[in-house]
Structure 1
Amino acid sequence: MTARRVEGIRVEETVWIELSDGTRLAARLWLPPGSAGPVPAILEYLPYRRRDRHRGDDAILHPAFAAAGYAAIRVDMRGAGDSDGLMTDEYTPGEWADAAEVIAWIASQSWCSGNVGMIGLSWSGFNSLQIAALAPPALKAIVTTCASDDRYADDMHYMGGCLLNDNLQYGSTLFTWLGTPPDPAIVGERWREMWLARLSAVEPPAARWMQHSDRNAYWQSGSVCEDYGRIKAAVLAVGGWADGYTNAVLRLLEGLKTPRKGLIGPWAHAFPHVATPGPQIDFINYVIRWWDHWLKGRDTGIMTEPMLTCWMQESEPPRARYHNRRGRWVAEASWPSPQVTKYPYQLTTSGLREGASEPIDLPVRSPATVGTASGEWCPYGWGPDMPTDQREDDAGSLCFDGAPLTAPLQILGGPRLAVAFSSDRPEAMLAVRLDDVAPDGTSARITYGLLNLQHHAGHGRAIALQPGKTYDTQIRLKDVAYEIPAGHRLRVAISTSYWPLAMPIPQAATVTLHRSELKLPVRQAGEESAVPPALGEAWNPGPLEAEVLTSPERGRIRIERNLAQNRMTVEVVRNLGALHIADVDLELQALGSERYSIALDNPAQARSETHRRAAFKRHDWLASVVTTSVLTAAGGDWHFIATLDAYEGEVRIFARNWDLLIPRSSAKLSSPKEIVGK
């Protein structure tokens, strides 16, 4: 079937769900037209404020589900939006326990048939997996989009054990929204009391996450890869090659035993019916086919289609922003696929070659600024956030070029680089990029990976390196589907920095490569093993009625090399936007910016700074939250400074500052200092 009409849907603006401890969660409910009896329900459960911040996304997705004969429900988590209680962190056992109660409540309602599905993007994509691992009886199927099964390896905190600057930028966003007030129009006079309680409970999430620099129990909790067998519901895993969360899709297909499908497009961090780069697809209808099969028992044919459908990207000149990416849809009947073979390439003194491995003994010590062509760790497609021409970064890297290809080469999956190395310092990192080099010299990044070399033996515990000692390790590059055309070269570029995507090691190290082999997942070209399904053209029921005051935009808007100050600066805009939402008569403002700077010859002088503002206005009611966060290195510690200010009108009603020293690594030679704050 196809969902094209949304007339007659019944919408309940606020439905209260009372939990067993008396906490009430606020929800918005869409019910199908007419009274045909109980129907299955689709839940989206997240902290991003159904009343305002997430209202635009909700206006697109949930009415379409209701039009297709489902009850769609958006629930604000405990401590978020208009819900009671407090929230202090992401992905907690309490969050999942509340969700299990919510699912049981939904299944018991007169409008529900007892079958429930969950859908989510990012946070709600994560917790759809995590809640499915609890196996609530009514939860039959989920759709997880732009999320991860491994909170340490593939979230915006760490990559290969290296601290990402996204830890600070997203931590700053959550820092701000944890302290936002409920809507007085919904909760009444107690809104101020609820707001002050939230503000008093806020601690900077970025600082908490930096306290867990290894893959310990904190990160294992909520990482469903620890035991895929706990998930019983059917899983549709969706991702985009431009997104930060691509790796989970193929791992889920391989690790899960429950029925599953994978769909990966060229998209950044958004649902595929609105995502860029395009092409967008009729994702809503695709998902309804999924729901109809698992929640209504209809044979829609979706489970006879290939297990994996993905966009095979084709070579094109790199740009900071794309409307569409070149390529075509391909499919695999199963994953892992017999069509994909791990093909070995040796890194040699004469370049990237086939054949036996050989010693190379090549040192690399990159400029601190290598990485300025990286783009954002998690592009959203709203601005200039994609990787650009890699030639400047290549110039500061150790590069291994292959011969010009005599035929196209398809890559599908995650390359791995095995390397024997030594370092002249106890601490070092490696960034590995796989580039597509055109005949004119243009260098486009295909995929990349990072490794904190103190994690050479695994991410469970950092181990200080003994200078001069040789170690063996593997570096995992992100999963990708990409076709390199004949006449182009494959390049492996290796650097000891990747700033500002990752915070640098404060003391620059020289790393010597002694041997190295690349295992490339090569997809057999020629006759396709499976036919991709028809995905249709993008459709949605229309955007939220709102006056846009500031358009949403995210990305690197300026890169400046200041020779007088001997510094490189990268400026980033991080605006969700500002708008007046007509149906709740509310002006919402969600603005942000970042500034990353580093000394050209001294990575110890790296500085990351974020600014955020969230504001809500209706007539004479104005409430706002403003935060700043700053991260620098201080010897063996991270130095983290933050401020939070809240205003009612023009009057500041709350203020708090933090000044923290956080150990950079569990392998520090000195004893960890107690984290202090004020």
Structure 2
Amino acid sequence: MATSFQPQSNVIQHNGFCVWENIWIPLKDGRQLSARIWMPDLVELEEGGIKPVPAIFEYLPYRKRDGTAQRDESTYPVFAKAGYAGVRVDISGTGESDGVFDDEYSPRELSDGVEAINWIAQQSWCSGKVGMMGISWGGFNALQVAALRPEPLKAVISIGSTVDRYNADIHYKSGCHLNSNLSWSGVMQCFANRPPDPALVGDRWRDMWLERLEGANLILDEWLSHQRYDDFWKHGSIEQNYEALEIPSLVISGWADAYKNAPPKAAENMPGLAKAINGPWVHKYPHFAYPRPRSDFHQEALRWWDRWLCDEQNDAESLPAYRAYISENVRPSLWREHEEGRWVAEENWPSNTITTKKLYLTTDHNLFETSSAGGQLSICSPEDTGIACGEVFALKPDAETPGDQRIDDGGSLVFETDILNDAIEILGQPTLSLNVAIDAPLGNLAVRLIDVHPDGVCHRVCFGVLNLAHRHGNETPEKMEPGQAEDITVTLDHIGYRFLPGHRIRVSISTAYWPLIMPSPYHVTASISMDKNAFLSLPVRAIGNQMTVADEIHMPEPEDTNPLPEYKQITSSKTERRVEKDLAENQTHYFAEDDTGTTEIPGHALRVRHTSFTKWSVNPDTPLGAEATSQWCCYMSRDNWSIKLETNVSMVLNADNFDISGKMIAYEGDKEILARDYRNTIPRDHM
């Protein structure tokens, strides 16, 4: 039954829509979630009849008032003018929502999301049909909430997300410990524990903040306590129950994003109507992402919503199963503005246009179509091999993306084709099969697929890593017997790429990939047999290589080339990525520093600034004693009110343990109001 509803805060009128700045969504346990709602002009809450509209729900911990306001304002006004209510909700314990943040995608978060959907559907301004969308966190929980099957939820759009929280997020990858496990815990330690805005919650802001600070745990403790694919990671991993995804799902990502594997996996496995898109982009919405070409996300989304929330017969269900950008001739650069290539479509996925091409590794470091006569090669990579790896998920097309791979190939086994006479176009997941032995019970392998340009510049096309203890699976890892060779397969990420004539294909193998993955406890030597079991498998598109038929589709770009609203920048931003070698101490240090500068949010004059400093240190000759630290500081101010929150999360890798520590200090003005220290030792589990 629909309920009457009145805005409880300011209503801001715009041309064609209005914004309800803060609406409270009541939960059954007494907590309230805070929402910002964009409403079409046609909705007037007066006595008498109104025309209810469908609602689009987005659910995040990143703060609707300031954190995601700019990107929200690039999209929800468009939706509102098209006849949809946009409902942007802060997760419990973040923004203005009640409670204490507990963890990402927790059972409480998901059940609160179901409650919020049901509440939205019951409002007099809502037609009873709800769509859910988001990027990253909001893309994750859109799929996870959909799997709980709330009746009003009719369709989702999930961008930059995953179906596997263990292998395809920012914590672990094929059993390897990602550096972002620590750095992301530092982000959330700071971001999730900021105070609500006093302009919205009044004098209780301080009590709400103290409750958050006093209830905050060092989230890395939990993530690092689950080093294998156990029930902790299975929760929310929709690959555990694809059958639950019954509603239409549009899943989108980019090749420069960590979450590129989700779209094709969705198209392959979801039983409901699932459509997939992979563009060339970093971890951003497609209508303002880099590298270009961008995609007109607004029109793509509105077609999806019109079909499934308004029953408009626009043939959205007839879209190809998978649309992908085939990149080509990509070079590492300081800023990748545009990526050469074209859009293609696969009507079904997996596609019958894909065949497997095998290239065999030889003792002469070649990649041939016939297998080698035998022999063996070994590699013991310096522990600092990997400094050109870029970051797990790139937010900017600069130093966050991989650099020239010649830097890391010096510490790797390298195999290469002859100069290509014909193009080779791939779409899918390459794999590398090897017969390998290591001289220790634990070790990692990293494999990079590289496009070698005629002038020698090397672009990383895609990569894969494997903790060899996880060679048979991630649930029950098993140590290697030193010196005993086994057949293993390293699976690389999905990619769409065209290797051009005149280029070479290279595959590089290393026993370290720092700082992207944390070192194993051993400085490992891997011995690889060069025989019929050593080969690279490439998913080759027959159509793309023969080019006997038209093989390009049109993907409209947005008309607005600068869709983000302008916010006043009080102080300038800064980004630094650098590597230092301390020759006297035999240490390599990798630094990542960012300062957003101070930004003023229009309409309510809240000023925000975030700074971060992350440092990774390793001895090239030993993995033991490798260190990492992530420091964050968040500033918020308005008029005479200001706060600052400082956090620090650090880790030292020892033979048997991860020693972690943390610190959090909160200030109101210049006065310290709370300080907390954290410390823990967590055993290494086959890692």
Q: Answer yes or no: is the 8 Å Cα contact 1:306–1:531 preserved in 2.
A: no
> For 2:615 and 2:408, how far apart are their aligned partners in 1?
20
1:519 equivalent among 506, 525, 537: 537
Residue 166 of structure 2: aligned partner: 152
Q: From the superposition, tell whether residues 112 and 445 of structure 1 become closer, same or farther in structure 2 (CA, over 3 Å).
A: same
**Matched pairs, number:** 662
Unaligned segments of structure 1, at least 5 residues: 669-678
Aligned-pair distance for 1:225?
Answer: 0.6
Residue 47 of structure 2: aligned partner: none
> For 1:565 and 1:544, how far apart are their aligned partners in 2?
48
Residue 495 of structure 2: aligned partner: 480
Code of the aligned partner of 1:624: K
2:461 equivalent among 446, 465, 468: 446
> For 2:571 and 2:518, how far apart are their aligned partners in 1?
30
> For 1:207 and 1:165, how far apart are their aligned partners in 2?
15
> For 1:413 and 1:275, how far apart are their aligned partners in 2?
22
The 5 Å alignment of 1:40-55 reads: 40-55=54-69
Asked if residue 564 in structure 1 is aligned to residue 579 in structure 2, the reply is: no
Q: From the superposition, tell whether residues 277 and 534 of structure 1 become closer, same or farther in structure 2 (CA, over 3 Å).
A: closer
Q: From the superposition, tell whether residues 240 and 10 of structure 1 become closer, same or farther in structure 2 (CA, over 3 Å).
A: same
Residue 4 of structure 2: aligned partner: none
Residue 9 of structure 2: aligned partner: none
Asked if residue 417 in structure 1 is aligned to residue 432 in structure 2, the reply is: yes
Residue 568 of structure 2: aligned partner: 547
Asked if residue 215 in structure 1 is aligned to residue 223 in structure 2, the reply is: no
Residue 336 of structure 1: aligned partner: 350
Aligned-pair distance for 1:565?
Answer: 3.1
> For 2:552 and 2:466, how far apart are their aligned partners in 1?
37
> For 1:203 and 1:71, how far apart are their aligned partners in 2?
35
Asked if residue 635 in structure 1 is aligned to residue 655 in structure 2, the reply is: yes
Residue 590 of structure 1: aligned partner: 610
Code of the aligned partner of 2:536: L
> For 1:23 and 1:30, how far apart are their aligned partners in 2?
23
Residue 193 of structure 1: aligned partner: 207
Residue 600 of structure 2: aligned partner: 580
Q: From the superposition, tell whether residues 534 and 391 of structure 1 become closer, same or farther in structure 2 (CA, over 3 Å).
A: closer
> For 1:613 and 1:378, how far apart are their aligned partners in 2?
21
Does the residue aligned with 1:583 lie in a helix, a strand or coil? coil
Does the residue aligned with 2:534 lie in a helix, a strand or coil? strand
TM-score normalised by structure 1 residue count? 0.95
Q: Answer yes or no: is the 8 Å Cα contact 2:288–2:562 preserved in 1.
A: no
Q: From the superposition, tell whether residues 539 and 282 of structure 1 become closer, same or farther in structure 2 (CA, over 3 Å).
A: farther
Question: Relative to structure 2, which stretch is displaced further, 70-79 or 460-469?
Answer: 460-469
> For 2:596 and 2:109, how far apart are their aligned partners in 1?
25
Code of the aligned partner of 2:445: L
Code of the aligned partner of 1:636: D
> For 1:263 and 1:7, how far apart are their aligned partners in 2?
32
Residue 651 of structure 1: aligned partner: 671
Asked if residue 260 in structure 1 is aligned to residue 281 in structure 2, the reply is: no
2:521 equivalent among 486, 495, 506: 506
2:408 equivalent among 376, 390, 393: 393
Aligned-pair distance for 1:408?
Answer: 0.4
Question: Relative to structure 2, which stretch is displaced further, 40-49 or 469-478?
Answer: 469-478
Asked if residue 23 in structure 1 is aligned to residue 31 in structure 2, the reply is: yes
Does the residue aligned with 1:582 lie in a helix, a strand or coil? coil
Residue 676 of structure 1: aligned partner: none
Aligned-pair distance for 1:33?
Answer: 1.7
Code of the aligned partner of 2:108: G
Q: What are the Cα deviations for residues 118-172 of structure 1, in whole angstroms up to 9, with x where unaligned?
A: 1100000000000000111111110000010100010000111111111111110
Aligned-pair distance for 1:580?
Answer: 1.1
Aligned-pair distance for 1:452?
Answer: 0.6
Q: Answer yes or no: is the 8 Å Cα contact 1:153–1:160 preserved in 2.
A: yes
Aligned-pair distance for 1:361?
Answer: 2.3
> For 1:489 and 1:541, how far apart are their aligned partners in 2?
37
Q: Answer yes or no: is the 8 Å Cα contact 1:382–1:552 preserved in 2.
A: no
Residue 240 of structure 2: aligned partner: 226
> For 2:332 and 2:428, how far apart are their aligned partners in 1?
21
Residue 34 of structure 1: aligned partner: 42
Question: Relative to structure 2, which stretch is displaced further, 562-571 or 222-231?
Answer: 562-571
Residue 13 of structure 1: aligned partner: 21
Question: Relative to structure 2, which stretch is displaced further, 42-51 or 298-307?
Answer: 298-307
TM-score normalised by structure 2 residue count? 0.93
Question: Relative to structure 2, which stretch is displaced further, 132-141 or 439-448?
Answer: 439-448
Residue 204 of structure 1: aligned partner: 218
Aligned-pair distance for 1:22?
Answer: 1.2
Q: What are the Cα deviations for residues 340-378 of structure 1, in whole angstroms up to 9, with x where unaligned?
A: 112222222132111246544211100111101111111
> For 1:171 and 1:363, how far apart are their aligned partners in 2?
36
Q: From the superposition, tell whether residues 65 and 522 of structure 1 become closer, same or farther in structure 2 (CA, over 3 Å).
A: same
Q: From the superposition, tell whether residues 580 and 611 of structure 1 become closer, same or farther in structure 2 (CA, over 3 Å).
A: same
Asked if residue 408 in structure 1 is aligned to residue 416 in structure 2, the reply is: no
1:536 equivalent among 545, 553, 557: 557
> For 1:340 and 1:382, how far apart are their aligned partners in 2?
29
> For 1:77 and 1:587, how far apart are their aligned partners in 2?
22
Aligned-pair distance for 1:34?
Answer: 2.5
Residue 605 of structure 1: aligned partner: 625
Does the residue aligned with 1:569 lie in a helix, a strand or coil? strand
Residue 10 of structure 2: aligned partner: none
Asked if residue 323 in structure 1 is aligned to residue 331 in structure 2, the reply is: no
Q: What are the Cα deviations for residues 544-589 of structure 1, in whole angstroms up to 9, with x where unaligned?
A: 45211345566x5212223233222221124454311121121111
Code of the aligned partner of 1:361: Q
CA RMSD of aligned residues (A): 1.8
> For 1:73 and 1:62, how far apart are their aligned partners in 2?
9
Residue 435 of structure 1: aligned partner: 450
Identity %, equivalent residues? 38
> For 1:246 and 1:258, how far apart are their aligned partners in 2?
20
Does the residue aligned with 2:229 lie in a helix, a strand or coil? coil
The 5 Å alignment of 1:107-186 reads: 107-186=121-200
Q: Answer yes or no: is the 8 Å Cα contact 1:417–1:476 preserved in 2.
A: yes
Q: From the superposition, tell whether residues 320 and 545 of structure 1 become closer, same or farther in structure 2 (CA, over 3 Å).
A: closer
